[in-house]
């Protein structure tokens, strides 16, 4: 059977020719993303904004009536944008609703809202069983937000340190900037389209960091090998060569993941749309940033053909000179 090859082995694309324009473009997009986050804010879900979660089982029914529930619960005046999805078995649901600003400091409001939702469910389904009601207060949701931000920063710093140790410090800076680029664009997308930002999205952003890092390390590994192999080759040509040599692997990996994500993006449940959209965006920008953010940064950070040659100490140099003199 003939192997499928989407990209020839001997490509010679001059990627670095467009490095500066793409850098300018990316910096503008990063600035626009953070402006959107500052201007529009993020549409926090129950996890980060506080609210109620009701878990219920429709006893005796094969599947929970998700569409009917969504329509009935949305008609309640006290409820806005409920998130209703299957939870566990097919006849089990989780209903999450955010608390409006007027509910702050009024615990009775949350109880009344829960009672209204359970009454709506029991009107047409008397056998429904309420398995549990959880409340996320404003204080706890604020702690969730802080923990999530710290988790993202810690992940990015740990990645940069790992690459610094494995390669050189310039590589760590390049990888950190590429990750900052990818995460900024993901946050910008959520601020622009006001998609719900929940703990699921934090998991998606961590997945973006992981994918972008994997792609960057593949390119960096090839750059390091070529730096040792072609010491007299100008760095821009060497970077182009390295990216071309890894291009087939990058395209095949990205395409495989895209084939899995696109059907889920189009036909998947609404509750997973934000998660899938974040991972798909990360797939695209992660591939782009490993080529046009992480690699060109090495030129501006002063990487050269001597970067991976062990530095000779003064004592070692004197000892080498003495050995060479004795041979003469």
Are 155 and 206 spatial neighbours (Cβ–Cβ below 8 Å)?
Answer: yes
Mean pLDDT within 77-92 = 77
Euclidean distance between the first and final Cα of the chain, in Å? 62
Q: According to the model, what pLDDT value does residue 315 have?
A: 66
Q: Which residue has the higher pLDDT, 244 or 61?
A: 244
d(CA 250, CA 197): 29
Instruction: Inform me whether the pLDDT recorded for 328 exceeds 60.
Output: no
82-91, 110-119, 311-320: which is most confident: 110-119
pLDDT computed for residue 35 by the predictor: 95
Is pLDDT larger for residue 71 or for residue 320?
A: 71
Query: Which range, of 80-89, 235-244, 260-269, averages the lowest pLDDT?
Result: 80-89
Measured between alpha carbons, how far is 7 from 5 in angstroms, rounded to an integer? 6
In terms of pLDDT, which residue wins out, 53 or 180? 180
Query: Per residue in 9-66, pLDDT tens?
Result: 777 888 888 888 998 999 999 999 999 999 988 877 777 777 778 888 888 888 888 8
d(CA 182, CA 180): 6
DSSP for 197-248, please give it.
E-HHHHHHHHHHHHHHHHHHHHHHHHHHHHHHH-TTS-HHHHHHHHHHHHHH
The answer, yes or no, to whether residue 108 has pLDDT greater than 80, is no
97 and 50 in contact (C-beta within 8 Å)? no
Mean pLDDT over each residue of the chain, to the nearest integer: 81
Q: Please write the tens of the pLDDT for every residue from 291-308.
A: 888 888 888 887 776 666
Q: Which one has a higher pLDDT value, 92 or 138?
A: 92
CB distance 146 to 138 below 8 Å = no
- Which pLDDT score is estimated for 140? 66
Q: Pick the closest to residue 221 from 210, 209, 229 (CA basis).
A: 229
d(CA 28, CA 36): 12
Give percent of the chain with pLDDT exceeding 70.
Answer: 85
CA proximity to 110, closest of 92, 136, 148: 136
Strand pairing category for 43-44 and 51-58: unpaired
The number of beta carbons lying within 10 Å of the beta carbon of residue 235 is 20
Condensed to tens digits (0 to 9), the pLDDT of residues 127-164 reads 888 888 877 666 666 777 788 888 888 888 888 788 88
The 10s digit of each residue's pLDDT in 184-229 is 999 999 889 888 788 788 888 888 888 888 888 888 888 888 888 8
Q: List alpha helices for the chain, DSSP H.
A: 19-40, 46-49, 66-74, 107-124, 138-166, 169-193, 199-229, 235-267, 273-289, 295-300, 314-327
């Amino acid at each position: 059977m003939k192997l499928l090859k989407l990209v020839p082995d001997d490509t010679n694309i001059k990627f670095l020719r467009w490095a500066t324009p793409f850098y300018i473009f990316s910096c503008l997009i990063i600035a626009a993303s953070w402006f959107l986050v500052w201007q529009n804010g993020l549409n926090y879900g129950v996890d980060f904004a506080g609210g109620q979660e009701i878990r219920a089982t429709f006893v005796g029914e094969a599947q929970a009536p998700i569409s009917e529930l969504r329509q009935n619960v949305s008609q309640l005046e006290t409820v806005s944008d409920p998130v209703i999805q299957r939870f566990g078995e097919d006849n089990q649901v989780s209903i999450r609703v955010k608390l409006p600003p007027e509910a702050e400091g009024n615990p009775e409001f949350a109880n009344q809202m829960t009672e209204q939702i359970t009454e709506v469910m029991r009107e047409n389904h008397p056998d429904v069983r309420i398995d549990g009601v959880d409340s996320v207060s404003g204080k706890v949701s604020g702690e969730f937000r802080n923990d999530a931000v710290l988790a993202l920063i810690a992940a990015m710093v740990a990645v940069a340190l790992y690459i610094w140790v494995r390669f050189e410090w310039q590589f760590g800076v390049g990888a950190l900037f590429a990750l900052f680029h990818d995460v900024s664009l993901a946050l910008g997308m959520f601020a622009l389209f006001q998609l719900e930002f929940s703990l699921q999205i934090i998991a998606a952003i961590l997945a973006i960091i992981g994918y972008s890092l994997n792609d960057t390390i593949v390119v960096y590994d090839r750059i390091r090998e070529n730096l040792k192999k072609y010491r007299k080759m100008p760095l821009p040509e060497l970077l182009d060569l390295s990216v071309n040599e890894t291009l087939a692997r990058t395209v095949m990996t990205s395409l495989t993941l895209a084939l899995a994500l696109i059907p889920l993006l189009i036909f998947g449940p609404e509750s997973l749309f934000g998660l899938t959209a974040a991972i798909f965006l990360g797939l695209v920008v992660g591939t782009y940033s490993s080529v046009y953010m992480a690699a060109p940064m090495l030129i501006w950070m002063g990487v050269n053909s001597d970067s991976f040659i062990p530095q000779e100490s003064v004592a070692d140099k004197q000892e080498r000179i003495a050995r060479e003199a004795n041979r003469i």
